[in-house]
Amino acid sequence: MRSVVTGGAGFLGSHLCDRLLSEKHEVVCIDNLITGDTANIAHLIGNPKFSFIQHDVTNYIYIDGSVDFIFHFASPASPIDYLKLPIQTLKVGSLGTHKALGLAKAKKARFFIASTSEVYGDPLVHPQEESYWGNVNPVGPRGVYDEAKRFSEAMTMAYHRYHGIDTRIVRIFNTYGERMRLNDGRAIPAFMSQAIRNEDLTVFGDGSQTRSVCYVSDLIDGIYKLMISAYDMPMNIGNPEEVTILELAKEILRLTGSRSKIIFQDLPEDDPKVRQPDITKAREILGWMPIITREEGLARTYKYFLKKMQNQQPG
């Protein structure tokens, strides 16, 4: 089996490369490194089954030889990244998806798109099941990501229906774990790095908004199971255990034993008030559900961030 992973040097993409290699795939990783980092794949360099191409997939993608699976994971994915890179975010979700689908058609490969819970926007249905069409503000600051991903789902279904391409769509809910960037602005890396530095934890709004966070190994397992299943409609993968952001900040304070305080800052525009996946489909069709508790996952992630920060500040 030979797989192509776009965004393969990113947080999720690099964990996916690891999993595919462990399943005996040959892996071609493509990344333009605007938010990805070669440090995430450094341990794979020299593996004869792994290769890396630095390339922007909004341009034509050339791959020699046969390909069985294409995973399109390239995209800025944290709110501060896509606010900083709005055009690139729209381009990789639209033009990048088109190029990756073109490659799938040429190679007769199965195509797998990394979509997102953001297609549900600030949801009016809770928890979110796949049949919900969402509540997205197309012209708000988050619209660049949400609409790019909604377009990528539509394009995937068009190639599926019109060209008969074998496709899979995963809607990924908030995920955390090793290889997240300390400064990617998301709640868990932000709170952990603040706690380690004994700085105040910045909770946005009153912290009553909820998220449901999934540890990365669980998420990748769901993705792998979806890829080998026969199911070709969108599927939620995430951990349904819901928590308020204020509670999450308190959990991180307890875990780290930090002296930091919690301070409240303005809630960003269009910040979703709730988010929780309905994973009935994943349970019934894939036999998948998350197994790592938040306590365990946060402890592992903390260990990673602590080491990373110590390496950044020698002595």
Q: Provide the binding-site residues for ligand UDP, judged by CB under 6 A.
A: 78-79, 174, 185-187, 190, 202-204, 209, 211, 245, 267-268, 271
Cα angle for residues 168, 171, 172 (degrees, 5° grid): 120
273 with 209: CB under 8 angstroms?
yes
**CB-nearer residue toward ligand UDP: 3 or 209:** 209
CB of 189 to ligand UDP, least distance (A): 8
CB of 35 to ligand UDP, least distance (A): 14
Mark whether 231 is an active-site residue. no
Looking at 82, 120, 145, 224, which residue is catalytic?
A: 145
CB of 204 to ligand UDP, least distance (A): 4
Sheet holding 167-172, edge to edge: 50-54, 26-31, 2-6, 69-72, 110-116, 167-172, 235-237
CB of 272 to ligand UDP, least distance (A): 6
Retrieve residue 218's tokens.
């669980």
CB of 214 to ligand UDP, least distance (A): 12
C-beta atoms surrounding 39 within 10 Å: 11
CB of 12 to ligand UDP, least distance (A): 14
**CB-nearer residue toward ligand UDP: 167 or 256:** 256
Catalytic residues: 145
